Amino acid sequence: METAQIYDLAIAWNWEYDFGFIDLVHEVACRNDMKVLEIRNENVEEILNLLRKEKIHFRYFLDRASDEDEMFQPLAWYVLRQFRSSERCAPHPINPYDLRIIAADKATMHLEFLTHNIEVPYTIIVSPYNHKNEVELSLSELAKLRRPFIIKPANTTGGGIGVVIGAETLKEIIDARQSHKSDKYLLQETITPTILAEHRAWFRVFYAFGDIIPSWWNDITHIYSPMPEEEERRLGLGQLQTITERIHTICQLDFFSTELAFMSDGRCVAVDYVNEMCDMRLQSQFSDGVPDIIVQEIVARMMECVKCKNL
């Protein structure tokens, strides 16, 4: 009988800007004598067929493509079904597909955060245009939003797609809902962070395979800055850790990021709930990318978990 090819990790990816992240994965794998399989548009169907015939096997599966490309969805569902039915011998999906779908829905996460006592912006959830054409909002609800406010689809917001910042009128809500007619919409108050250590107190916090990695993230320029542990302690930012751990309890993902902001009254508000498909562009290659040291830490942690079978 033909022996199946075995890989430690398979990565499905189709975003051209992931190349730096993928290169780092290969570097760490090479140092640790691990085998990595890249799954792209040109081989995804072949890989799925080989999996079904048990001619290929991978221990872990990282999917960075199916959210944007339907071509990868049959593979994602197949791996998930195998994992749910037989965890011992099936590939372990990093961020299982069913959990990712739930985490990506900002309306669902908003309600979960409220239930778990996580501070969130004042928000009105509006039903999809296809379900109800008219917007039913009271004057008091609109007044609580204050102006300007933010309009965002519950599911279609990768890279800020569909988000309207600085909205002020009912007409803008009506127009926005027709951009993604099957999606719920969130109307949110605009959050203005306080200033800490000459930074806007807005943070992108990564949860990476058990580790929590906070970073400064300017909500206006979108530029990251690393945050040393000493600075986190000195500024009393322990809530970044505790809130992110609570978010992990809710979404149960292995790898995600969240946006948290400190207000002048001391509250720490979750501004963007769960980013289940983290942008891993390197800052050395893109000015608004993630600091290289953080991406390196995430890759090292992921590969350590894969090697130790510890996800």
The model's pLDDT over 142-156, given as tens digits with 9 standing for 90+, comes to 788 888 989 999 886
Report the pLDDT value the prediction gives residue 1, as an integer from 0 to 100: 47
Report the pLDDT value the prediction gives residue 109, as an integer from 0 to 100: 96
Q: Where are the alpha helices (DSSP H) in 152-308?
A: 170-177, 229-234, 239-251, 292-308
Comparing CA positions, the residue from 158, 294, 286, 299 lying closest to residue 222 is 286
Do 291 and 226 meet the contact criterion of CB atoms below 8 Å apart?
yes
Do 256 and 243 meet the contact criterion of CB atoms below 8 Å apart?
no
In whole angstroms, what is the distance from residue 305 CA to residue 57 CA? 18
Mapping DSSP to helix (H, G, I), strand (E, B) and coil, where does residue 52 land?
helix
pLDDT tens string, the chain, 311 residues long: the values are 467 899 999 999 999 999 999 999 999 999 999 999 999 999 999 999 999 999 999 999 999 999 999 999 999 999 999 998 876 678 899 999 999 999 999 999 999 999 999 999 999 888 888 877 777 777 777 788 888 989 999 886 555 567 888 888 888 888 888 888 888 899 999 999 999 999 999 999 999 999 999 999 999 999 999 999 999 999 999 999 999 999 999 999 999 999 999 999 989 999 999 999 999 999 999 999 999 999 999 999 999 999 986 55
> For 285, how many CA atoms within 13 A lie in the half-sphere containing its CB?
15
Report the pLDDT value the prediction gives residue 165, as an integer from 0 to 100: 86
Across-strand partners of 189? 149
Say if strands 5-13 and 36-39 run parallel, antiparallel, or are unpaired.
Answer: parallel
Is 0.85 topped by the overall pTM? Answer: yes
In the chain the domains, ranked by start, together with CATH numbers, are 5-94 (3.40.50), 122-189 (3.30.1490.20), 193-291 (3.30.470)
Say if strands 164-167 and 149-153 run parallel, antiparallel, or are unpaired.
Answer: antiparallel
